[in-house]
A and B are shown apart, each in its own frame.
Chain A
Amino acid sequence: MRTDVSKINESTPHEQLTEGLMIFAGGTSKEFNTGEWRTNTPIFNREKCKQCLLCAPVCPDGAIPVKDSKRDEFDYDHCKGCGICAKACPFGAIDMVEGQVR
């Protein structure tokens, strides 16, 4: 019995929830838009970015996608706005702004 997380939500009756709320599936955390919790938002300034990639590995939520050795725009579905990336950036290419921008 594998869990289809797309069919479990806040209206699911108890009989249809799994034992101990275990999730019998992998990689399901991307289904949860934890970006909703964000109260501050990092803004990526592409012109200032040297692509040193110090920001991506320090992101606790994997919300800085890297492709072909270059970082891309933030994944705002999962960025919680902690600001660690902005602290790590040596070039001032990430600005933190108040509120849930985007």
Chain B
Amino acid sequence: MAKKDRMSGNEAVAYAIKQINPDVMPAFPITPSTEIPQMVSTYIANGEIDTEFIPVESEHSSMSAAIGSEAAGARSLTATSSAGLAFMWEELLLAASNRLPVALALVNRTLSGPININCDHSDSMAARDVGWIQIYAETNQEAYDNFIQAYPIAEDVRVHLPIMICQDGFITSHAVMNIELIEDEDVKEFVGEYKPEEFLLNPGKPIAVGPYSVSNYAMEARKNQALAMENSKEVILEVAKKFKDRFGRGVGLFEEYRTEDADYIMLIMGSAAGTAKEAVDNLRDKGIKAGVLKLRVFRPFPAEEIAEALKNCKAVAIMDRTESYNAHGGPLASEVLAGLYRSKVNIETVSYTYGLAGRDFTVDSVYEIFDELQAVVNDGFKPVQHRYIGLRTCE
């Protein structure tokens, strides 16, 4: 029997961690993810779980400790945001190259500067090429569901890669919403026991982790790591299907909302997808064929699947909640465009930047974008690419 409750996104992820009862959690507090280790350490102090909590002196240390304990054979995780993720940088790459299925509860917050604590995706997007699987949530429910799927994906023998479960700082992490919780025993059965074949604390079966590799070996190791990321796509889909069959909800690589006959689609990630859906419902009432493609999985990037999902629309708005400073648009736009080109899908595309450092993104913002898409298709309007939504300007 599922239990109905109301929780913030941080509470939901902490609750999922409690139900999983992982072995080791090293963590260092940083807004807005602080509540996750705080709540987990409360569960530990109350004797509800027996996770080993390591209070470390920095995020460099929390990820190092998670790598060490995971290599030792313990299911490990940590939580962080923004500058905390940046301080883990070197270790993020090592967790991936050592093929350790560490989980990270990431609460998206902008990277400085100017210094700011609010939501955008600049932290995880800057870490898009460190070899971690990245899954994003629209709601508290999705953050919870995604976390329960994290270990079955990361620990699969075809994958063995670390996984980042992302939710939007404050918007999702602190807002309280209704949530449907899964029974403890069902979570435990779904996630299973961690039984690595080889691990450090295994008497009589010694191993060496992270050996120096000369040029004759390192390129082959990188290829194997890249193949694991490719393989993870089918595992993510299998786990999502298993989750849906069992608990009745969830999507695979992305959610297609009213896109089946849509002429205009907004491609977006995270909490703002909810805003886009509300606007699309209202536009549909007015007879405008609008839809939303909400990307759940950014790494591995489902380029062909996105191209297939977009091929019948006339125009797509690609929404980046980060600035790449490359004078060429955000990372989502760049990757989607490359995917469309390779799949020979020739539709109109407009790239937008929105919601940086907690800037509001409203239903009216979505209307403005769909108006522009219609002008592009119907009037031959030439839009400014990667325009900032809601920017104050003298023009």
Are B213 and A21 within 8 A (Cβ)?
yes
Q: Nearest B residue to A27 by beta-carbon distance?
A: B206
- Quick check: is B216 within 8 A (CB to CB) of the other chain? yes
Q: Once the chains are docked, how many angstroms separate the CA of A15 from the CA of B100?
A: 19
Are B206 and A19 within 8 A (Cβ)?
no
Are B198 and A21 within 8 A (Cβ)?
no
Q: Closest CB-CB distance, A57 to chain B, in whole Å?
A: 23
Residues of A within 8 A of B206 (CB): 25-27
Residues of B within 8 A of A26 (CB): 206-207
Residues of B within 8 A of A15 (CB): 224
Q: Nearest B residue to A16 by beta-carbon distance?
A: B220
Q: Mark B164-184, 1 if CB is under 8 A from A, else 0.
A: 000000000000000000000
Q: Closest CB-CB distance, A37 to chain B, in whole Å?
A: 12
Are B207 and A20 within 8 A (Cβ)?
no
Residues of A within 8 A of B211 (CB): 21-23
Q: Mark B207-219, 1 if CB is under 8 A from A, else 0.
A: 1111101001100
Are A1 and B197 within 8 A (Cβ)?
yes
Q: Nearest B residue to A8 by beta-carbon distance?
A: B217
Q: Once the chains are docked, how many angstroms separate the CA of A12 from the CA of B219?
A: 12
Are A20 and B210 within 8 A (Cβ)?
yes
- Quick check: is A54 within 8 A (CB to CB) of the other chain? no
Q: Nearest A residue to B98 by beta-carbon distance?
A: A20
Residues of A within 8 A of B338 (CB): none
**How many residues of A sit at the interface, in one of the four size bands?**
10 to 19
Interface size on B, residues (CB 8 A): 23
- Quick check: is A33 within 8 A (CB to CB) of the other chain? no
Q: Mark B193-207, 1 if CB is under 8 A from A, else 0.
A: 000011000000111
Q: Once the chains are docked, how many angstroms separate the CA of A87 from the CA of B198?
A: 42
Interface of B is mostly: loop
Residues of B within 8 A of A23 (CB): 207-208, 211
Are A24 and B223 within 8 A (Cβ)?
no
Are B99 and A13 within 8 A (Cβ)?
no
Q: Could you tell me which residues of chain A, from 33 to 59, have a CB within 8 Å of some CB in chain B?
A: none
Residues of B within 8 A of A24 (CB): 198, 205, 207
Partner of B220, one of A2, A13, A25, A27: A13
Residues of A within 8 A of B160 (CB): 19
Interface of A is mostly: loop
Q: Once the chains are docked, how many angstroms separate the CA of A13 from the CA of B221?
A: 10
- Quick check: is B97 within 8 A (CB to CB) of the other chain? yes
Are B220 and A22 within 8 A (Cβ)?
no
Q: Could you tell me which residues of chain A, from 48 to 74, have a CB within 8 Å of some CB in chain B?
A: none
Q: Nearest A residue to B219 by beta-carbon distance?
A: A14
Are B224 and A19 within 8 A (Cβ)?
yes
Residues of B within 8 A of A10 (CB): 216-217
Q: Closest CB-CB distance, A11 to chain B, in whole Å?
A: 9
Q: Once the chains are docked, how many angstroms separate the CA of A84 from the CA of B97?
A: 35
Are B198 and A17 within 8 A (Cβ)?
no
Q: Once the chains are docked, how many angstroms separate the CA of A28 from the CA of B198?
A: 16
Partner of A17, one of B197, B207, B217: B217
Are A25 and B207 within 8 A (Cβ)?
yes
Residues of B within 8 A of A2 (CB): 205
Q: Once the chains are docked, how many angstroms separate the CA of A15 from the CA of B223?
A: 9
Given A1-B197, A1-B198: A21 in contact with B207 (beta carbons within 8 A): no
Q: Nearest A residue to B97 by beta-carbon distance?
A: A20
Partner of A14, one of B197, B210, B220: B220
Partner of A22, one of B205, B209, B223, B225: B209
Q: Once the chains are docked, how many angstroms separate the CA of A61 from the CA of B225?
A: 32
Residues of B within 8 A of A19 (CB): 99, 160, 224, 228
Q: Once the chains are docked, how many angstroms separate the CA of A15 from the CA of B220?
A: 8
Are A21 and B197 within 8 A (Cβ)?
no
Residues of A within 8 A of B220 (CB): 12-14, 17
Given A1-B198, A14-B223, A17-B224: A22 in contact with B207 (beta carbons within 8 A): yes
Q: Once the chains are docked, how many angstroms separate the CA of A62 from the CA of B160?
A: 35
Are A22 and B217 within 8 A (Cβ)?
no
> Could you name 9 residue pairs across A and B whose Cβ atoms are closer than 8 Å?
A14-B223, A14-B224, A17-B217, A17-B221, A21-B213, A22-B98, A22-B210, A26-B206, A27-B206
Given A17-B224, A20-B225, A21-B211, 9 additional A-B pairs, CB 8 A: A1-B197, A17-B220, A20-B221, A22-B99, A22-B210, A23-B207, A24-B207, A25-B206, A28-B208
When A and B form their complex, which 7 residue pairs have the shortest distance between CB atoms, in order from nearest? A26-B206, A14-B220, A23-B208, A10-B216, A20-B99, A19-B99, A20-B98
